[in-house]
Structure 1
Amino acid sequence: MPENVTPAEVPAELDAYRHTIDNLDAALIHILAERFRCTQQVGFLKAERGLPASDAAREDRQITRLRQLATESGLDPVFAEKFVKFIVAEVIQHHQEIATQLSDEDGC
């Protein structure tokens, strides 16, 4: 479809799909926000207890589990693994920042 198509020229079916995609994108953002709120609490708990920011064994189990779920759902498991690894890397970075923040507060 040409880039200069006006909204009035967009087929109703395409518009409906786009509306659904917009709703799903919004839901994904809300779900990710909730996930990161929870992992932030995990980060504080780990830092308070002196636990490492990363748990490689758990991460491996999660990737295996989520690849299987992706396959069952008709989603490319390679994409699912990349997505999960991206999120986990961000979570680990947050956990490291939390640990640094708490150790700096204790050192004052």
Structure 2
Amino acid sequence: MTPFTERILQIIKDIPPGKVMTYGQIATLAGSPRAARQVVRILHSMSQKHHLPWHRVINSKGQIGLSDDESFNVQRLSLEMEGVEFSIGDRIDLDRYQHHPAH
């Protein structure tokens, strides 16, 4: 596993309940601001194995990035159970819910 992948995994593991981070934000914190798609790939391939809170990662518009209805609903319900609220257009208020780690 590359150091970049390890950093991404740790950043995602550290997102607290009731907070979200964006794909691009995670890529930037991991040292590669243009690697948002790589964050998506890592989430897709490693979430189950590494017990990642994948549902806390959303797109830069404050929306769930999954198009599959079942996965979308699982992610939305998981976030709502943690207290995250959705507004019109299924958006999450990033000013209120975005996690900004201190590293």
TM class by shorter-chain length? under 0.3
TM-score using structure 1 length:
0.26
Larger gyration radius, structure 1 or structure 2:
1
Specify which structure has the higher proportion of helix.
Answer: 1
